Amino acid sequence: MTGDKFPELLPYLASGRKTIIHCQALRQVLSVHTYLWRAQPDGADKLIRARIYHAICTPKYNQETIRLIETDPRCQIVIATVAFSNGLNAKELLDSLSLEFAPTLDEAWQEKGRVGRNPDTIGRGVIFTPRSLIKTAEKYLECEFLSFPSSYLADSSQLSPLRQVTFQKQAKPPVF
């Protein structure tokens, strides 16, 4: 996901669940924060509802962000660089949205592990990927499938390629 508009995030944020949005670069963090600032309804406490967390913020600001996400019902969204994925424990987070696939599978798994830490809740992890990556994965799986010994397959008709999730454009994006 690139650019300065992120309407794909709004249906997730409209749920009101406490959410971490993982970005691969500081520029993307700032773009997402600016987009969400503008998308918030009138009367929202914009300085509390969506917070930034990254290494350039002061330690005091980052600690306050963690405190707010844990204790303040008005704080719903943390937009972060990979620093958030390492060693922080915010039990109130329920959704992890990654705007790109992390450089490694381990890092992607680490990002998703930030949510659902309270055993009484169900966490949700979403990774937004470009269509080109989906097509590459489908081609790879097709090649792997063709090289897979047929003796291991009971019924190859039950295997299907990756499904693409598309978001229909809405006349008016949901309010979050």
**Tokens matching residue 40:** 């918030």
Reading the chain (176 residues) residue by residue, the pLDDT tens digits are 677 899 999 998 989 999 999 898 899 999 999 999 999 988 889 999 999 998 888 999 999 999 999 999 999 999 998 766 665 677 888 898 988 887 888 877 777 776 777 788 888 888 888 888 778 878 877 776 666 555 555 554 444 444 434 444 444 555 55
| Predicted local distance difference test score (pLDDT) of residue 70 | 92
pLDDT confidence of residue 60: 95
pLDDT for res 168: 42
Query: Taking the model in full, what pTM does it have?
Result: 0.76
Q: CA quadruple 117, 119, 120, 125: dihedral positive or negative?
A: positive
Topology (CATH) of 11-127: Rossmann fold (3.40.50)
Closest CA to 19 of 75, 72, 100: 75
DSSP annotation of 80: E
Q: What is the pLDDT of residue 163?
A: 42
Question: CB under 8 Å to 69, separation ≥6 — which residues?
Answer: 18, 51, 75, 78, 90, 92, 93
